[in-house]
């Protein structure tokens, strides 16, 4: 079962008036080892008691891809077209971004492969 399916079952049982322990017991009885922990059931019952409607995860921000912008991609392409021997390190320094982001732009966004020279 997916997390949202577990949460839907928990929400349904909560709306029927079952306690967290009753919900957990029922889920263990029917799902055995695949049942969520009691702590998970209790946490979601508390969420629904506070008025939460959704069983989906809250959106997370994560790390924004600030270095992989259209401007940086265009600038990196221009740098490569001017000097076919330019390194990702030089691109990173020129754009003021991390080497990892420059490598991502060159290989994933622009589709170039890196070639090492002797």
- Structural domain span for residue 83: 70-109
Q: Are 35 and 28 in contact (CB under 8 A)?
A: yes
How sure is the predictor about 118, in pLDDT bands with cuts at 50, 70 and 90? low
Do 40 and 10 belong to one domain? yes
Does residue 62 belong to any structural domain of this protein?
no
- Number of domains forming the structure of the chain: 2
Do 12 and 45 belong to one domain? yes
pLDDT recorded at residue 66: 73
Per-residue pLDDT at 4 exceeds 70: yes
Does residue 14 belong to any structural domain of this protein?
yes
Distance between CA atoms of residues 89 and 80, nearest Å? 12
Alpha helices in the chain (DSSP H): 3-15, 20-31, 38-49, 70-82, 88-95, 99-104
- Report if pTM > 0.75: no
Write the pLDDT tens digit of every residue in 26-84: 999 999 989 999 999 999 999 999 999 999 988 876 656 678 888 999 999 999 999 99
Helix (H, G, I), strand (E, B) or coil at 81: helix
pLDDT recorded at residue 115: 76
Nearest to 94 by CA among 74, 108, 64, 111: 74
């Amino acid at each position: 079962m997916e997390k949202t399916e577990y949460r839907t079952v928990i929400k349904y049982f909560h709306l029927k008036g079952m306690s967290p322990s009753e919900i957990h017991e029922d889920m263990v009885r029917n799902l055995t080892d695949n049942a969520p922990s009691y702590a998970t059931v209790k946490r979601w019952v508390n969420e629904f008691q506070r008025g939460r409607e959704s069983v989906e995860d809250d959106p997370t921000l994560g790390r924004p891809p600030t270095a992989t912008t259209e401007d940086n991609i265009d600038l990196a392409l221009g740098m490569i077209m001017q000097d076919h021997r330019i390194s990702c390190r030089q691109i990173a320094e020129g754009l003021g971004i991390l080497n990892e982001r420059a490598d991502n732009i060159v290989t994933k966004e622009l589709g170039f492969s890196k070639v090492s020279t002797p």
